[in-house]
Chains A and B, each alone.
Chain A
Amino acid sequence: MRGDSEADYTTYVSARLTALHRAAYLLCGGDQDRADDVVQVTITKLYRHWRRASGAENLDAYVHRMLVRTYIDEKRRLWSRVRLLPHADDERPGADRPYDAADDRGVLIAALRGLPPRQRAVIVLRFLLDRPVEEVAETLGCSAGTVKSQSSRGLAELRAALTPAPAPAKTIGTLR
């Protein structure tokens, strides 16, 4: 990669890193380690393909697609096994999930965790990243109809989780 291209890449990724990480964190149902991995793999792929990516009509859409496809692949054993991240030995706050606040936001994370991965991807792509139905369908390799039905099913689950119930509330394990 040329020096100026590399500068462009660094500028772009620096500006988008927080948003990409939020999307990955939600996609991964609050699993911080996995979200970090998904973002790391995505920005590495983006570096490799920067020449083409930077010519994309909608670069954000292109990168979101890469992020979601990276997330959907559940089996990135190679990356996780030979872990080269400098923070590999760091203490992580994941065990007690301090970021799962005891309010709607925490419930939302728990509810997202209860959704099937592709349904979660639909929710994040459509509602957090604001991608149109057709594009989500293309990203996930399914029909627009499937995206719509997955959206409404996912939304129903989230609404149910966020609505206080008079009867014993659903637990994470019975959401699906």
Chain B
Amino acid sequence: MNTDEELRDLLLAVEVPPTTADIGLAIATGRRQAARRGAILAGAAAALVVAGGTAYALGATAPDGHRGAPAAQGPQDPPIAACAVDTIQVPGAPGTPVVDPSGRYVVGSVGGIASRITDGQAVAYPGATGEVVAVNVDGVIAGYDDAVGSTHQLAWTYRDGAKTMLPKLPGYPFTTPTALNARGDVVGYASGEAGDDNVPVLWPADRPGTVVALPMPPGFGTPGTGGSHASGVSDDGIIVGVVRGAAVRWVHEGSPALLPLPAGYEGAEAVAVRGTIAYGWAAVTGGNRVVPVRWFLSSAAGDSAFVMEGAPSDIADGTPTGWSITIGGDLREPVRLSPGGTVQRLPLPPGVRPLPAGPGAGARSISDDGRTVTGSTGDRRLLIWHCDTPS
């Protein structure tokens, strides 16, 4: 080998086994990540559709060795609720909106500017350019800008008409917010160029201009050495997330605790927390199956896990009383999971069918009373479900 061309020829001649990389899996995973991080896809028509009964039953599993299931199960489930879905057509490629816990604010990025969706219209917040991640009961917004020349993000908050960039963690050029609570605490992750060297972080509301790297659990190495992020923060300051494949929770900036998993499951991620319930998913040991999990957080009795075998696992958000919604899975057909684990399909707007017959839809956030759910169709119409869920 004497020339560059010869080296290239040799590199091209190396016999490479067939790849098992899967484009379908990339699309499914990409959709799920995009929905969770706020980048999924958007008539002013309203339709009243009754959610179609119990779509399919599931076995709610109270795991061995953990303080079991919540009281409400099976026959005690509230009746299936009726939901109406509003579709809102806005120009361009809007981001999927989010709802605050009170249900008062529905906010999404329209035309690249954070906008309040009200009465079927999008009203822009002056100067609030970027993508929206979360909004709290006071209308404070957390969001991000795309970093120039990078696939990463820069986090900001918007309150009282002013957008403020959140501070970066030294050594990490990028910041992505994931959640915001009533106090205005923002959580998320700091990242380097590689994209997976993430550090879970907290931007505390009572210390503006400060960013805190959340500590790693014992034995999990130092921050920055693995995919890790904070994904939810409760109004009491409980933060949940994932550290290198394990679901964790922090109380404020304190030491993290691993969230428990029943035997037979390994690897988990917490994606949201409301009140004392964390939501996420876990992988079945040795298999490729993933199941949704709720964790009941208790400083007195310890945390307990409640696995919902058989239900869709792509949880997007939940309520303090145990209701949760899924993004929509491969078919883009979002569901609501009752506190007892009953699966209810959220009605799609007229003419919108799940993949592959139609564009499908995804759900993203739910108000604390379970009555308001936000999402979007695959062809970028914004959706707001109004449900008469008892709470």
Residue among B8, B41, B288 making CB contact with A130, cutoff 8 Å:
B8
Check B20 against A127 for contact (C-beta < 8 Å). Answer: no
A133 at the interface (CB under 8 A from B): no
CB neighbours of A2 from chain B (8 A): 41, 93, 378-380
Specify the chain A residue showing the minimal Cβ separation from B4: A127
Check A39 against B21 for contact (C-beta < 8 Å). Answer: yes
Residue among B8, B22, B151, B197 making CB contact with A73, cutoff 8 Å:
B197
Check B17 against A141 for contact (C-beta < 8 Å). Answer: no
* Nearest CB of A to B284, in Å: 10
Stretch at the interface among B23-31, B58-66, B119-127, B162-170: B23-31
A88 at the interface (CB under 8 A from B): yes
Q: A75-B225, A77-B227, A155-B7 are in contact. Are A21 and B19 (CB under 8 A)?
A: yes
Q: A43-B26, A77-B227 are in contact. Are A128 and B11 (CB under 8 A)?
A: yes
* Nearest CB of A to B385, in Å: 22
CB neighbours of A124 from chain B (8 A): 11
Interface size bracket, A side: 35 or more
A170 at the interface (CB under 8 A from B): no
Check A84 against B29 for contact (C-beta < 8 Å). Answer: yes
Check A39 against B195 for contact (C-beta < 8 Å). Answer: no
A137 at the interface (CB under 8 A from B): no
* Nearest CB of A to B222, in Å: 11
Check A47 against B30 for contact (C-beta < 8 Å). Answer: yes
Check B26 against A47 for contact (C-beta < 8 Å). Answer: yes
Check A21 against B34 for contact (C-beta < 8 Å). Answer: no
Specify the chain A residue showing the minimal Cβ separation from B290: A84
Residue among B27, B196, B359, B378 making CB contact with A76, cutoff 8 Å:
B196
Check A127 against B19 for contact (C-beta < 8 Å). Answer: no
B133 at the interface (CB under 8 A from A): no
Q: How far is the CA of A41 from the CA of B34 in the complex (A)?
A: 14
Specify the chain A residue showing the minimal Cβ separation from B269: A82
Specify the chain B residue showing the minimal Cβ separation from A32: B17
Residue among A45, A48, A49, A128 making CB contact with B8, cutoff 8 Å:
A128
Specify the chain B residue showing the minimal Cβ separation from A72: B194
Check B226 against A76 for contact (C-beta < 8 Å). Answer: yes
Specify the chain A residue showing the minimal Cβ separation from B378: A3
Residue among B14, B23, B225 making CB contact with A105, cutoff 8 Å:
B14
* Nearest CB of B to A7, in Å: 11
B12 at the interface (CB under 8 A from A): yes
Check B10 against A108 for contact (C-beta < 8 Å). Answer: yes
Q: A36-B20, A48-B34 are in contact. Are A77 and B244 (CB under 8 A)?
A: yes
Q: A45-B195, A52-B151 are in contact. Are A84 and B288 (CB under 8 A)?
A: yes
* Nearest CB of A to B91, in Å: 14
Check B244 against A81 for contact (C-beta < 8 Å). Answer: yes
B267 at the interface (CB under 8 A from A): yes
Residue among A73, A89, A108 making CB contact with B196, cutoff 8 Å:
A73
Specify the chain B residue showing the minimal Cβ separation from A23: B11
A175 at the interface (CB under 8 A from B): no
CB neighbours of B26 from chain A (8 A): 13, 40, 43-44, 46-47
Check B197 against A75 for contact (C-beta < 8 Å). Answer: yes
Q: A26-B11, A99-B15, A105-B13 are in contact. Are A88 and B288 (CB under 8 A)?
A: yes
Q: How far is the CA of A20 from the CA of B225 in the complex (A)?
A: 25
Specify the chain B residue showing the minimal Cβ separation from A48: B30
Per-residue B-contact encoding for A24-58, CB less than 8 Å = 1, 0 else = 01100000100110011101111111011000000
Specify the chain B residue showing the minimal Cβ separation from A140: B193
Check B151 against A66 for contact (C-beta < 8 Å). Answer: yes
Q: How far is the CA of A14 from the CA of B195 in the complex (A)?
A: 24
CB neighbours of B300 from chain A (8 A): none
Residue among B16, B33, B269 making CB contact with A25, cutoff 8 Å:
B16
Specify the chain A residue showing the minimal Cβ separation from B10: A108
Check A69 against B193 for contact (C-beta < 8 Å). Answer: yes
* Nearest CB of B to A27, in Å: 11
A87 at the interface (CB under 8 A from B): yes
Specify the chain B residue showing the minimal Cβ separation from A49: B151
Per-residue B-contact encoding for A136-156, CB less than 8 Å = 1, 0 else = 000001000000000000010
Report which residue of B8, B41, B227, B286 has the largest number of chain A beta carbons within 10 angstroms of its beta carbon.
Answer: B227
A172 at the interface (CB under 8 A from B): no
Check B16 against A82 for contact (C-beta < 8 Å). Answer: no
A162 at the interface (CB under 8 A from B): yes
Check B21 against A36 for contact (C-beta < 8 Å). Answer: yes
- 16 additional A-B residue pairs with CB within 8 Å, beyond A22-B12, A82-B283: A1-B30, A1-B378, A2-B379, A13-B26, A26-B11, A35-B19, A40-B26, A47-B27, A73-B195, A75-B196, A77-B226, A84-B29, A84-B290, A86-B25, A127-B7, A158-B7
Q: Can you report 17 A-B residue pairs in the complex whose CB atoms are below 8 A from each other?
A: A2-B41, A2-B93, A21-B19, A40-B21, A44-B30, A44-B33, A48-B34, A75-B196, A75-B197, A76-B196, A77-B227, A78-B226, A84-B29, A104-B1, A105-B13, A108-B11, A128-B12
Q: Which 10 A-B pairs have the closest CB atoms?
A: A47-B30, A78-B227, A81-B245, A82-B267, A73-B194, A21-B19, A39-B21, A43-B26, A77-B226, A44-B26
Interface of B toward A, CB cutoff 8 Å: 1-2, 4, 7-8, 10-17, 19-23, 25-27, 29-31, 33-34, 39, 41, 93, 146, 151, 193-197, 225-228, 242, 244-245, 266-269, 283, 286, 288, 290, 359, 378-380
